């Protein structure tokens, strides 16, 4: 029976424990030009542990891919040094780091996309918000990508993956969850196309396959992960048969022999409230279809994380909220120590307060 604190092989990485820092959109890229801030290097460095894995928050692959003011991005060379500093801070403590790459799709506003309409597989209006200089505002109307444009978006994923490699990261994760562009292609509530990228799931998964292949062309399969959110509702997303859809997706990804499949449990609802107490159901039905490591995320504490790993339904567990306020979370979970409460008001933007100023259990900053 596996333990949350036993070693595990994840693709090319040999990890010493199974507590993963989940990607969290913390909106601290506050310097002009979407350049990562020094406090981001502090935050990620503080949460690094010897042999532990961190997954960097969704990093926009282009200006058109942006959804939120202050969100991470990597689409020009001037951002390189900021990302190198983050990778170096994690590696200095013996940790590993993957960069999550994202295209926001229809969840955006023209103030964030350079004045052009956000894009999606199809035009399916929804009531969402984007963060701009004016605060959270309703998203702008979006348009459907022309089939001739899709190859260009896939190339942007490849270029961003190359930049992550140059910045010294250990791998990349494709954000295929939470109603952003990749997820919009996968699910039939947002994909109404009638061409090679729409209709049956074999077609709706084409964009996902091409994006994964682009990342693999840079990194190889054992340094590429994918995050999905079966039955998630964030971003107005939906599917008529999510279990069948995501079982197929898991089989497709399994064939590539990628490093891991990262699964958000549907305990996180459309308003981003967390419905705790529900068992992790997604990893259970996906486990037969994916033979590699599975990372489970969404509403776990130490006991439930240990239980899902012991059951074999997941191999690792990603923590967001608890890791936000406990830089030494693996140590605290292992030794059953009290956790510092997280500060929800500081999740989406701000400065170092309630971000990189949380102490470890012994009262020191985890430098």
Identify which of 150, 256, 253, 251 has the alpha carbon closest to the alpha carbon of residue 207: 150
44 catalytically annotated:
no
Rounded CA separation 83/67 (Å): 20
By three-state DSSP, how is residue 331 classified? helix
**What DSSP element (H or E) covers 193?**
none
Catalytic residue among 44, 75, 180, 355: 180
Which residues lie below 8 Å from residue 9, measured CB to CB, with a gap of 6+? Answer: 15, 293
Identify which of 313, 237, 324 has the alpha carbon closest to the alpha carbon of residue 272: 237
Sign of the CA dihedral with 364 first, then 324, 54, and 119 last: negative
- Under 8 Å between Cβ of 52 and 20: yes
Rounded CA separation 44/26 (Å): 12
Sign of the CA dihedral with 345 first, then 351, 353, and 356 last: positive
Catalytic residues: 180
């Amino acid at each position: 029976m596996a333990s949350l604190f036993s070693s595990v092989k994840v693709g090319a990485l040999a990890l010493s424990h199974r507590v993963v820092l989940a990607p969290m959109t913390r909106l601290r890229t506050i310097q002009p030009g979407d350049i990562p801030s020094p406090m981001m290097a502090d935050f990620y460095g503080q949460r690094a542990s010897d042999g532990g894995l961190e997954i960097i928050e969704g990093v926009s692959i282009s200006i058109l891919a942006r959804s939120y003011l202050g969100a991470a991005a990597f689409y020009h060379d001037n951002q390189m040094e900021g990302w190198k500093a983050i990778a170096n801070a994690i590696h200095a403590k013996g940790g590993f780091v993957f960069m999550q790459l994202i295209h926001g799709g229809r969840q955006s506003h023209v103030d964030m996309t350079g004045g052009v309409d956000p894009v999606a597989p199809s035009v399916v209006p929804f009531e969402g918000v984007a963060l701009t200089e004016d605060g959270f505002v309703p998203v702008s109307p979006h348009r459907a990508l022309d089939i001739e444009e899709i190859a260009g978006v896939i190339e942007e994923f490849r270029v961003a993956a190359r930049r992550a490699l140059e910045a010294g990261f250990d791998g990349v994760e494709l954000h295929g969850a939470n109603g952003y562009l990749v997820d919009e292609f996968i699910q039939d509530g947002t994909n109404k196309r009638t061409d090679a990228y729409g209709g049956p799931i074999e077609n709706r998964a084409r964009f996902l396959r091409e994006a994964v292949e682009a990342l693999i062309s840079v990194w190889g399969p054992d340094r590429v992960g994918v995050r999905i959110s079966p039955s998630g509702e964030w971003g107005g997303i939906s599917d008529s048969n999510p279990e069948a859809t995501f079982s197929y997706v898991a089989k497709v990804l399994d064939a590539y022999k990628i490093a891991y499949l990262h699964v958000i449990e549907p305990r996180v609802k459309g308003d981003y409230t967390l419905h705790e107490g529900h068992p992790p159901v997604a990893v259970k039905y996906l486990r037969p279809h994916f033979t590699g490591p599975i990372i489970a995320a969404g509403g776990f504490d130490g006991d439930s994380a240990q239980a899902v790993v012991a059951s074999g339904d997941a191999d690792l567990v990603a923590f967001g909220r608890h890791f936000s306020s406990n830089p030494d979370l693996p140590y605290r979970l292992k030794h059953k120590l009290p956790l510092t409460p997280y500060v929800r008001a500081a999740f989406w933007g701000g400065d170092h307060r309630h971000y990189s100023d949380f102490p470890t259990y012994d009262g020191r900053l985890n430098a």
